[in-house]
A = this chain, B = another copy of it.
Amino acid sequence: MSQPEQLPARPTIKSVARHAQVSYQTVSNALNAPERLRPDTLTRVLRAVEELGYRPTQAARNLRLQTTRLIGFRSTRSDGQGVSSIESRFLYALTSAARDRGYGVILFAADGDEDEIAMFEDLVSRGAVDGFVLSGSHRHDPRTAWLAEREVPFVSFGRPWEKTSFDYSWLDVDGHAGTVAATEHLAANGHRRIGFIGWPEGSEVGDDRYAGYLAAAADLGLPTRGLTVRGLDGIGAGTQLAAGLLGKAHPPTAFVCVSDAMAVGAMHAIEHRGLAVGRDVAVIGFDDSPLATVVQPAMSSVRQPLESIARRCVDLLLDRIDDPRSAVLTSVVEPTVIARGSSNPDHPSPPDGA
Contact = CB atoms under 8 A, between A and B. Distances in A.
A82 B46 contact: no
Contact of A80 (B128, B293, B352): B293
A352 B31 CA distance: 75
Contacts of A77: 92
Nearest to A298: B235
Interface string A51-90: 0000000000100000011100101111011111101110
A161 interface: no
A109 interface: yes
Given A35-B46, A91-B107, A104-B108, A352 B274 contact: yes
Nearest to A67: B126
B106 A105 contact: yes
Nearest to A126: B69
A243 B222 CA distance: 43
Interface residues of A, number: 66
A290 B85 contact: yes
Given A91-B107, A105-B106, A354-B274, A293 B85 contact: no
Nearest to A296: B268
Contacts of A293: 80-81, 235
Contacts of A126: 68-69
A95 B109 contact: yes
Contacts of A206: none
A269 to B, nearest CB: 11
Given A274-B353, A294-B235, A294-B264, A76 B104 contact: no
Interface in A225-274: 235, 264, 268, 271-274
A107 B80 contact: no
A50 B75 CA distance: 43
B75 A91 contact: yes
Given A272-B351, A291-B294, A84 B80 contact: no
Nearest to A61: B35
A96 interface: yes
Contacts of A354: 273-275
B123 A104 contact: yes
A295 interface: yes
Interface in A268-317: 268, 271-275, 289-291, 293-296
A80 B294 CA distance: 10
Nearest to A264: B294
Nearest to A47: B39
Nearest to A350: B271
A197 interface: no
Contacts of A98: 109
A60 to B, nearest CB: 12
A150 interface: no
A180 interface: no
Nearest to A291: B294
11 contacts: A39-B46, A75-B96, A80-B290, A81-B293, A83-B290, A85-B88, A88-B91, A92-B109, A104-B119, A107-B107, A268-B296
